[in-house]
């Protein structure tokens, strides 16, 4: 569930995780859920699959990512309008 509050850990907040996932997908053409989980663990972010799916659902509803053939990728029109987030990672 995406409902930020002042007691939540900012590193595992769904909005912050979404930004990190978008930054990762900007560098990659597409990625599987496992690839995203490995990326987050590499950056020392341990979250449950439920939290990951909540974040991916948020990004899908916001029309930022799409899902096809078991791969997640940024939509082309979204890629054009996003800023360069390489410095965010």
Splitting the chain (89 residues) into consecutive groups of 10 residues, what average pLDDT does each group show?
A: 74 87 89 94 90 92 91 79 55
Q: For position 1, what pLDDT does the model report?
A: 54
Concatenated DSSP letters for the chain? -----TTS-GGG-HHHHHHHHHHHHHHSS-B-HHHHHHHHHHTT----HHHHHHHHHHHHHTTSEEEETTEEEE-HHHHHHS---TTT-
Q: For position 78, what pLDDT does the model report?
A: 64
Domain spans, the chain: 13-81
Quick one: what percent of the chain has pLDDT higher than 70?
A: 81
Q: Is the pTM of this model over 0.85?
A: no
Residue carrying structure tokens 């007691």: 7
Q: For position 33, what pLDDT does the model report?
A: 93
13-81 has which fold?
Arc Repressor Mutant, subunit A (1.10.10)
Q: For position 75, what pLDDT does the model report?
A: 86
């Amino acid at each position: 569930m995406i409902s930020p509050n002042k007691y939540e850990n900012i590193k595992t907040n769904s909005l912050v995780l979404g930004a990190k996932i978008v930054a990762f997908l900007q560098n990659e053409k597409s990625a599987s859920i496992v690839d995203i989980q490995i990326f987050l663990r590499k950056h020392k972010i341990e979250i449950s699959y439920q939290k990951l799916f909540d974040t991916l659902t948020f990004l899908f509803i916001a029309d930022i990512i799409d899902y096809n053939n078991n791969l997640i990728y940024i939509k082309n029109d979204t890629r054009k309008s996003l800023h360069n987030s390489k410095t965010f990672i």
